[in-house]
Homo-oligomer: A and B are copies of this chain.
């Protein structure tokens, strides 16, 4: 291996280590991440970190992209093990919830309150759509195999607004695929967020997974699954 390759590898490992410590810091400081505190934990000077991330926001962006990718992959892997659409939705939703429970502060970073003063760059939009795309593709698959229940028609101007998106993703399907995908995504993520953020306080303590599934099934039913 050439010296250049070695340097590249060491740099990649150092970058990964910084992110790992930064993720740990998210837990105590929330999105109010401090580059200096990360450097202190790593036993290096704060200025050294700037060789890896040009600014605090750039480090934050890296963490956000990693989080989207991690939950996206978790959901995709889980869904791949199921065969029918409803099974895929349930698997993906449970995987997302479990990832959130294991990484609550990263969940808050991507689905919680926006970080004040932070504007997400373009690089974050594509990984951000992974979970929703998975839901959408699964629902579309169900439509194509006629496995979607009949429901009252959608009324409202919003469905016309969704028409272009529907046409670009699923030109053969009605735009309600998009509406129901977004609605289900909101419902599932809402259920996760409110459980995680403590709104389920003393009501359900043991069988939170069961209550979550109850809500996911409701979301699926509303989408016709």
Q: A residues near B, CB below 8 A? A: 28-32, 108, 111-117, 125, 154, 156-158, 160-162, 165, 178-179, 182-183, 185-187, 189-191, 193-194, 197-201, 203-208, 210-211, 213-215, 218, 221-222
Contact = CB atoms under 8 A, between A and B. Distances in A.
A28 B117 CA distance: 7
B191 A157 contact: no
A64 to B, nearest CB: 13
Contacts of A160: 207
A165 B115 contact: no
A15 to B, nearest CB: 25
Contacts of A178: 203
A181 B205 CA distance: 17
A185 B194 CA distance: 10
Nearest 7 interchain pairs by C-beta:
A190-B190, A112-B113, A30-B116, A156-B210, A158-B207, A158-B211, A157-B207
Contacts of A207: 156-158, 160-161
Contact of A204 (B117, B162, B218): B162
Nearest to A206: B161
Contacts of A28: 116-117
A192 to B, nearest CB: 9
Given A207-B161, A221-B222, A179 B214 contact: yes
Given A32-B116, A189-B190, A190-B191, 17 more contacts: A113-B113, A113-B197, A156-B207, A158-B206, A158-B207, A161-B203, A161-B206, A178-B203, A182-B200, A182-B203, A183-B191, A183-B211, A183-B214, A186-B215, A187-B191, A193-B193, A218-B222
A29 B115 CA distance: 9
B210 A157 contact: yes
Contacts of A210: 156-158
Contacts of A117: 28
B113 A208 contact: no
A1 to B, nearest CB: 43
